[in-house]
Amino acid sequence: MDPSFELIIEPHKGWQPVDFREVYVQRELLGFLMWRDIKIRYRQTLLGGVWAVLQPLMGMIVFTFFFHRLAGVNGDPQVPYPVFAFAGLSVWTFFANALSQASNSLVANQAMVKKVYFPRIFIPLGAIGAMLLDLLLSLVLLALLMAWYHIPLTSKALLIPVFSLGALLAASGLGMTLSALNVSFRDVKYVVPFMVQMGIFVTPVIYPIRFIPQKYMLLMGLNPMAGMVTGFRYALLGSPASWRVMGLSLAVSVFLFVSGLYLFRRMERHFADVI
């Protein structure tokens, strides 16, 4: 920590800006919380890091059998359905797990919130950041699947960081909002799993975006993960994509992140009292 940095703790009312200097100076704490969450998640597990890819892998197998083979749902004509499904599931699984972990992070760390001061925003962001390792491992397995099916990478793959950032912003914005609300309203933890379960069906994860009628494309773009899932497939597999949907989803992700920051700061001063 910078020895010249002086922090004065005093009560505030109303909407408060984010102290980015404080966040930067104490950034090592964010890294520690991320590493702690990774170790806790895989401690005393038989398969260890394999769990990071097991969930999207099993989802790919189930969706390929029931939706593709039995129901006749196809992905892109030039891409085998297992690769199509896994590409969507890899980024969706990151978002879903990050949202679930972040929404309950403040309550799970209530002892820290009560006893010592630090940027509270680090708790949900640390839980989300820890899930980036799972996304990275999923992308490694996806690369192996692409090699198995002889699907080459193109220059479009350079867009992967953009869509990864969009998914991270969406998860962070919603995660901060839900974690703050969960401090006061504990039934949030029951709402989040329902949101995740329903979300996969309103996001083009197991079906291509061409299934969506044109008149609903704008509405689909309001779902931040619709554009990110589509963008992942476009960057990795060359799948058809709607730039209007991807651009709108990215804008919504940025909006969710900014609004989540300010809502979190608004409610932060009550955390220690009600948690």
Residue 203 CA to chain centroid, in angstroms? Answer: 14
Q: What is the C-alpha R_g of the chain?
A: 20
The token duo for 154 is 């193109």
What pTM did the predictor assign?
0.88
| pLDDT greater than 90 at residue 142 | yes
* Residues written for the chain: 275
| pLDDT greater than 80 at residue 57 | yes
Cβ contact 173:251 at 8 Å? no
Task: Tell me the per-residue pLDDT of 198-255, one tens digit each, with 9 for 90 and over.
Answer: 999 899 998 888 888 888 888 899 999 999 999 999 999 988 888 999 999 999 999 9
Cβ contacts of residue 91 below 8 Å, gap of 6+? Answer: 135, 163, 164, 167, 225, 228, 229, 232
What is the spatial distance between Cα 55 and Cα 269, in angstroms, rounded to a whole number?
Answer: 37
Q: Which helix (H) or strand (E) holds 256?
A: helix 243-268
| pLDDT greater than 80 at residue 9 | no
What is the spatial distance between Cα 50 and Cα 43, in angstroms, rounded to a whole number?
Answer: 12
Average pLDDT of the chain to the nearest whole number: 86
Percent of the chain with pLDDT over 70: 90
Q: Would you tell me the crossing angle of helices 224-237 and 132-148 to the nearest 10 degrees?
A: 40
Q: Name the pLDDT band for 127 (thresholds 50, 70, 90).
A: very high
Q: What is the DSSP letter of 223?
A: S
What is the spatial distance between Cα 106 and Cα 275, in angstroms, rounded to a whole number?
Answer: 8
Cβ count near 161 (within 10 Å): 11
Task: Tell me the per-residue pLDDT of 156-204, one tens digit each, with 9 for 90 and over.
Answer: 999 999 999 999 999 999 999 999 999 888 888 888 988 888 999 899 9
Q: Name the pLDDT band for 21 (thresholds 50, 70, 90).
A: confident
Task: Tell me the per-residue pLDDT of 69-103, one tens digit each, with 9 for 90 and over.
Answer: 777 777 777 889 999 999 999 999 999 999 999 99
Cβ contacts of residue 144 below 8 Å, gap of 6+? Answer: none
Type of residue at 233: R
Q: Give SS3 for 271.
A: helix
Q: CA of 101: how far to CAs of 14, 136, 173, in Å? A: 28, 17, 13
The token duo for 169 is 């912003």
The closest alpha carbon to 49, from 144, 134, 139, 129, belongs to: 134
